Chain A
Amino acid sequence: MIQKGQSAGVSLSELMQLDEVARAALCTDIAIETLASACIEQLQGLAMQDLEHALNAVGWVIARADETDSGTLKVQARTAGAFALSLGNQFEEATVLLKEAESQAASLDDLSRGRVAQAWVQPLARLGRLTEATTSAERAIVCFELADEYILAAKAHTNLGIVQRMRENPAAAIHHFDKALPMLVDQPTAVAQLQNNRAEALLELAEFASAERAFKLAMLAFDEGSMGRAAAVAQGNLADLLGMQGKFAEALRHFEHARRRLEDGNAPGDAARLAAERAEVLSLIGLPEEAVEACLQATASLDKTGLKREAARARMATTIALVRSGRLKEAEVIAREAAAQFAAVGAEQALAKANVLLANIESRRGCHDAAISLLTDARNSLRNVPIEKARTGAMLASILLDAGRAKESLQEVELALSIAEQLDLAPLRADMLHTRARAQAKLGERDAAIVSMRKAIDEVERLRGLLQADRLRVAWLGDRVSVYSDLVSLLLERRTEGDVATAFEMLERSKSRSLLDLVDGGSRLAESVIERDTSDRDTSASELVERLLASQAELNALYSAIDRQDVAVQDNESQLRSSRMRRLEQEIARTEGQLSATRRFGPIFTRSLELSTLQRTLGDHDGLVSYFGAAGQIGVLVVRSDRVHAIPVLCTEKQAEALQKRLLFQLNRAVMSSASSTDDERTQRLIDRELHVMHQLLIAPIAGVLDGLHSLTILPHGRMYALPFHLLRGADGLLLEGCDVSVAPSASIAHHMATHHRALTQGRALVVGVADEQAPQIADEAVAVAVAIPGCQTLIGADATAEAFLTQANGASLIHLACHGHFPAGDPLEARFKLADRWVTAREIFALDLHGSTVILSCCDVGRSRVAEGDEIFGLTRAFLASGVSALVTSLWPAHDATTRTLISDFYKGLVQGQSVTKALCGAQRNCAKRNDHPAQWGHFVSVGMP
């Protein structure tokens, strides 16, 4: 601590922690010039390290300088104060001080005038007054050189370089940075700032390797100087660069580290800018909704801090995300706001970029001519910025193709592709290769199109390999799944030798691919999210885990308070609870996202199944039907042990969805009618009609190939996951009556499940039953199952607590669960079943080790899933498959208590006799059909896996 009267030991930081009286008392014996001089010297350094205290000190330091007779000290105090204020984004306040300083410096020496001119540069530049900022920087250089202050002149060159960057002249910027660099070798902090800015300029010139090196050097230098905030900005820039190159996981990791460096809240502008840049990467990966939310928050914050350029850039990021989400109207409004902001600060190239976005919006509205015109103008303005030239060219090519101008599209994309190749812009290259392939296909160059498609897929796969979090892989592939389906269509059209096998392989790569990674990787990935990783040196990771666990615990407590009436009845209390639950769910998703950026996930990738391997697995009477979507159409591939049959177009996706909706509507009606004891004769007639219509659409065209099959595995596409395929009714009756039917997300997953199956005898069985007044037969069912499987563990009634279940489920060879279930469509990872004390959610199932287990879910709705692009299913089915089950029976709609009790009894008779899960289930369902039970009461059960 400083002592009264010890002028040499004055510490501005410590002084500012005292109250006014104590501070004055401590300074009484220090000569005012000495005190002012010492404080001015320290103010700039304090601003870099502890902005809050520095901002508090500005007025006090100026007051001390004004107590002296020294004009130089008065000027220096104001320039140092302006520096601190600028750092705190208080630019207008900074300019007030600088005007005072300027007038005081008029009669002083070159050095003083140079200092004032130098101090003007940042606030002017940040306020968008770039011409004045340039003049000030140039004046500062001249003054410093006249005063023989070459280090200061170098710093002024650095500033001028920064302004040149803002004037969209990166080459001039680098010229000034390179002039400054040799003179600053002994100034590590200045070198760090310079390297960061030089890297940004290099990035604009698409000199990626040099830019990456410069950012890393800057980060290191800032860290060594304990300048956390500056290091965060450099790290954010590095992340931005990595994202552009398709190194998404690395980019998100750097963003997360940078975000944490700014968590103290002292730099809201930088934090918001970082958030906007991160959102751009999220958009690129395929998570636009998440990006929109982040961007809107960032924009509001940047508007508040007056950072116009950054705010405009955040608006651009918002627009990109909104366009990708299909929210064109909102996107247009925000893009126009961004354009106006760029126009206001004279940023012509940025304005052109905003026009590129507006062109994209026009094109998506089908206004191709307007879009092409906007893009052509924008491209002209951006011709000297290689990245933008490539991006604009790619977009133009895509729009030309949509406008039916395939030849011009091909020319444009070739040009853009050559730039992207040089720049190593991997994500853009993948998209361009796809556009090129589409153009070639349109022009009848099918073979060339197939080659281009495969190159595009190689690029998509390579980038996918760099993503380690499940969520990111789902989004990335989901956003680009049309490359695979377009290739499948071309291959099935050409059908030279090997094409069908390749088409099958491509389909497998595009169906539930991330789930396959989870299934094969088992619970390792899930565990690494939930459990603490002591090997992670980053201590904040364990804080995140703590936060995650706390949120999950609270959420589970809230779930346990829900009873079934809550779903329908919304009183005030339950609304408050729902609102809190939604907040917690968002918090959990956010924390998981942050966590995934801090962990070292081992790469868990699995090869998709090859056609020949599948065919070797299938018996003479087994078949597999894989539905797929391509360009709005649904096609199908039927695989038997000795042949493959393909129909590229069965119907349109819209047609299938509409008919499916009709069927599900009638099934739901039947359930409701049955519950309210109203007439069900009409519903039976209507259901039969829709089952027949659906059969005609999806099964009848392949009926000949299915002839003679005893078992059939169906791989649905998109919303078809909700379809009870086994109930579809042809002329010979239900599909189920001809063969055993199961479903699976992909052949690779089904094959994996089949090859990792554990027999019932290889381990213990666990039977869980929680009955209540609404579903009293659950108790009998659980007892009957326990009797059928001698030696099993039972958790019935009050014993069936969540903790007991989660503990005993691990490692069980068979789990039978009879209880209530619920599927919240809005948040499928909160799909859940109700045990004695609380609900157990899909999130918790991910953490279980159920490798090789058979799981029977005798509950309502637990087989429902939300299906994302790439046929990735989200719900309890995903959770159980990811935890390693080898066979799963689940329910597509509410389970009728009494009929289920009987069906389950029949099912276990078959199972203990050695039948497969699918065979036993289908046998039990056939018995229901024979008894003329209403199909809505037993058709909800489906078997997931291979028969």
Chain B
Amino acid sequence: MPNHESMDDGQRFEHLVDLASGAQVPDAPDPKDASGTSTKIVGALRGILDSLRVSGEPEESSILRASSMPGSLASRLGLDKLGVGLAQLVGDTRGVVLAGYRGAATTYALTFTTDGVEIHLEVLPSEYDGDKAEIQAHIDTGDDETNDVTVRFHKTSDSTEVSTAQLDDGGYLTVSLPLGTYDMLIELESRSVLVPAVEIG
């Protein structure tokens, strides 16, 4: 039984890869909650991957090994996107009253970051269609890496692609989407970033 406390990020990542690919079994497997355990493993994998990306690239072969979990489950858990940087929610203005202002916000904003990339989304209710919202986004890579950047919106529930847009030269895009929850995949020149479960509406 490995001692998790003494592992560094690299070792912990390899251990989790083993768990995800089935090469090892979890310490205390719960037969009633296999998917829950898997989710926790993937969550841990994601967290550690982001940390490894700051200190140095994880082994490509390890990522491939972890991604080799059987099809639908892998897709559901996002393991097939382990090669993609996962953005974390750092700002959410829903429910925030504009304290210190003489009015109210009619939009809300969500901010995500990962590895030097900041994604700021503003969600505006559609003026004409109550079932849709307009999303304005700015993606700040810090180094003007916004040429030929494609952004894809997938339904979180079934991964269907619903919209694709290109960033303009300032890193902005506008898209109109039906209310729902979306994964946003940003294809930068040298890497991709996944913004998971963006709630629209």
Within 8 A of A (CB), among B92-128: 93-109, 111, 118, 120, 122, 127
**A665: interface (CB < 8 Å):** yes
Q: In the assembled complex, which residues on chain B have CB atoms less than 8 Å from the CB atom of A820?
A: 102-104
Contacts of B9 in A (CB 8 A): none
Report yes or no: A819 in contact with B138, Cβ–Cβ below 8 A. no
Asked if B43 is at the interface (CB within 8 A of a chain A CB), the reply is no
A774 touches B98 (CB 8 A): yes
Partner of B122, one of A669, A678, A690: A669
The reply to whether B98 and A859 contact each other, CB–CB distance below 8 Å, is no
Contact A858 B91 (CB under 8 A): no
Select the residue from B99, B104, B111, B122 with max chain A CB neighbours within 10 A: B104
> Are A675 and B104 closer than 8 Å at their CB atoms?
no
In the complex, A666 has a CB within 8 A of chain B: yes
Check A825/B127 contact, CB under 8 A, given A668-B122, A672-B96: yes
CB pair A774 B140 closer than 8 Å: no
A860 pairs with B102, CB closer than 8 A = yes
Interface residues of B: mostly helix, strand, loop or mixed? loop
B6 to chain A, nearest CB (A): 36
Say yes or no for B36: interface residue by CB 8 A criterion.
no
Q: Given A662-B172, A669-B109: A675 and B98 within 8 A (CB)?
A: yes
Q: Of B93, B105, B138, which contacts A686 at CB under 8 A?
A: B138
Q: Verify A676–B103 contact, CB threshold 8 A.
A: no
| Given A661-B174, A662-B172, A693-B170, A567 and B138 contact (CB-CB distance below 8 Å) | no
Asked if B136 is an interface residue, CB under 8 A from chain A, the answer is yes
Give Cα distance in the complex from A897 to B99, angstroms: 9
Expressed in whole angstroms, the minimum distance between the Cβ of A501 and any Cβ of chain B is 39
Would B101 and A669 count as touching, CB distance under 8 A?
Answer: no
Given contacts A661-B172, A675-B96, contact A666 B138 (CB under 8 A): yes
Count of chain B residues near A, Cβ 8 A: 30
Contacts of A672 in B (CB 8 A): 93, 96, 98, 105, 109
Check if A898 is an interface residue, CB within 8 A of chain B.
yes
Q: Is the interface of A mostly helix, strand, loop or mixed?
A: helix
Given the complex, which residues of A lie within 8 Å of B174, measured CB to CB?
Answer: 661
Taking a contact as CB atoms under 8 Å apart, the answer to whether B168 and A895 are in contact is no
Which of chain A's residues have a CB closer than 8 A to the CB of B120?
A: 669
- Measured in the bound complex, the distance between the Cα atoms of B104 and A774 in whole Å is 10
Which of chain A's residues have a CB closer than 8 A to the CB of B105? 567-568, 671-672, 675, 894
User: Size band of the A side of the interface?
Assistant: 35 or more
Across-interface contacts of B100 in A (CB, < 8 A): 674-675, 774-775, 896-898
Task: Give the distance in Å from the alpha carbon of A895 to the alpha carbon of B136 in the complex.
Answer: 22
Q: Which one, A565, A674, A682, A825, contacts B104 given CB within 8 A?
A: A565
> Bound complex: CA of A49 vs CA of B100, how far in Å?
67
Contact residues in A for B122 (Cβ distance below 8 Å): 665, 668-669
Chain B's closest residue to A858 (CB) is B102
A861 CB-CB contact with B under 8 Å: yes
Report how far A567 CA is from B94 CA in the complex, Å.
12
Inter-chain contacts of B107 with A (CB < 8 A): 668
Distance to closest chain B CB from A685 (angstroms):
9
Contact, CB under 8 Å: B102 / A567: no
What residues of A have a CB within 8 angstroms of the CB of B103 in the complex? 564, 820-822, 859-861, 894-895
Chain B proximity of A199: nearest CB distance (Å)? 41
Task: Name the residue of chain A whose CB is nearest to the CB of B120.
Answer: A669
Contact among A659, A665, A860 with B136 in the assembled complex (CB-CB below 8 Å): A665
In the complex, the answer to whether A676 meets B93 with C-beta atoms within 8 Å is yes
Known: A662-B138, A662-B170, A665-B138. 17 other contacts (CB 8 A): A565-B97, A568-B105, A665-B172, A672-B109, A675-B93, A675-B99, A676-B96, A689-B170, A690-B170, A774-B97, A775-B102, A825-B106, A858-B102, A859-B103, A860-B98, A861-B103, A897-B102
15 A-B contacts (beta carbon < 8 Å): A568-B108, A658-B172, A661-B136, A661-B172, A662-B168, A662-B170, A665-B122, A672-B105, A673-B91, A675-B98, A682-B140, A819-B102, A820-B102, A825-B127, A895-B102
> A residues within 8 Å of B by Cβ?
564-565, 567-568, 658-659, 661-662, 665-666, 668-669, 671-676, 678, 682, 686, 689-690, 693, 774-775, 778, 818-822, 825-826, 858-861, 894-898, 900
Top 6 nearest A-B pairs (CB, nearest first) are A860-B103, A567-B104, A894-B101, A564-B104, A895-B102, A860-B102
